Structure 1
């Protein structure tokens, strides 16, 4: 199966190891993985900031870069959710309407692709310890993902998964929300981390590094004994 990976801006710049781990897992699952070096951004930051014209320009480039891909897979439900749910709005009644619809149907978040397309939920990963999982808003509400990440984590040898209270509550990141409404954002992170710490987990896992970046910063300032990990990092752990 041919997979073209899309690597979000912040993962490319700040967490490249997550991208390499996703490739590692996809290749072990039998995929032929390619990376289009022309790729840039999905357009979500500009769109969320209200710059729809600029966003449309970036999205047009995304359509060009991935238009011929058999599957597009990204380690970010946020980016995938934007492509699936908002490209149609930007290109409504345009000449590329069908192209946009087709690309949305071929674009998948990593755990969604593993479980629902490849039908693989065990890659032989190992991580000893206790973990709790954070449902990102984009994964839960835009990509309708709940069981897929947990199904993959349940097959990680040595890992005990414990649910935290209010697991479906937002972490407080929300992109520019964390900048525009900093006190509210911090309070939401505090609530999320307190719930995570209450499980006695050593690891806080999610599909979205944007959430984990926000929560990781709060954990560092709070001094909590908790390590954030992207799902791809977990699945790439414990095997060569």
Structure 2
């Protein structure tokens, strides 16, 4: 299958390891990865903060980039929130400003755009990707993956198949970590309180690693854990699934 990488701003600027890990996983499974080089921001942060007019050119550009740059069967991103934006916001923004043609094109792109665990489990029919990760791990289901995309236990199905890993259930897992983009800035005290609860639950597991499918949430949780000098790391789901016994044995 020919799979387009929707890299997202956060992966491009701060967490490229999550995107390169997706490439490693899918190439290991025998798929061809292509990259629409003109892609930029999908406009999620503009929509989420009420700047719909400013989001419209970004929606149009995203659709054009994925229509024209390369041919592909499905697209994948290391971010449930960005996939959620493509699926649930792009056509809405286009229709808000009377562009039905763009809305229909956006819906076509959205219908073939997936978060990693959805792509692996639902589209490719794979739960064991050949990963090896000898650590104690707990999983945080991010709000957009849980409530917008409804990925359910797909990430857990993938994690349970990872050899050498001990998967530990996270208490009150479905509670928000408090990030929410600009929510963490505009409501910092509430965000900090939510983060404190999430960190307490992560630490109670005794896990070495907290994983999730969104780098934004891992940035929030990881920042808090590092300030506590807890020793617990945050690692994107894709990076765990990309790990192999050969990688683990490399000095």
Query: TM-score, normalising length from structure 2?
Result: 0.93
Assess if the C-alpha contact under 8 Å between 1:29 and 1:120 holds in 2: no
SS at match of 2:134: strand
CA apart distance, 1:217: 0.6
CA deviation after TM superposition for structure 1 residue 136, in Å: 0.3
Q: What value does the CA root-mean-square deviation take over the aligned residues?
A: 1.2
SS at match of 2:46: helix
Query: Residues of 2 paired with 1:38 and 1:97: CA distance?
Result: 20
Out of 104, 124, 140, the residue aligned to residue 118 of structure 1 is 124
Please list, as runs of the form range in 1=range in 2, the aligned pairs for 1:12-91 lying within 5 A after superposition: 12-67=12-67, 69-91=72-94
- Conserved in 2, the CA contact under 8 Å of 1:124 and 1:239? no
Tell whether the 8 Å contact from 1:134 to 1:205 is kept in structure 2 after alignment.
yes
Give ranges in structure 2 of 5+ residues lacking alignment. 247-251
In the alignment, which residue of structure 1 is the partner of 2:11?
11
Matched residue count: 240
Offset at residue 180 of structure 1 (A): 0.8
Counterpart contact for 2:7–2:77, Cα < 8 Å: yes
Query: How far off is 1:70 after superposition?
Result: 1.9
Aligned pairs (5 A) from 1:160-239: 160-239=166-245
CA contact (8 A) 1:129 1:158 kept: yes
TM-score when scaled to structure 1?
0.97
Shift of 1:115: 0.7
Structure 1, gaps ≥5 residues long: none
Residue 123 of structure 1, CA deviation: 1.7
1:238 Cα deviation from its structure 2 partner: 1.9
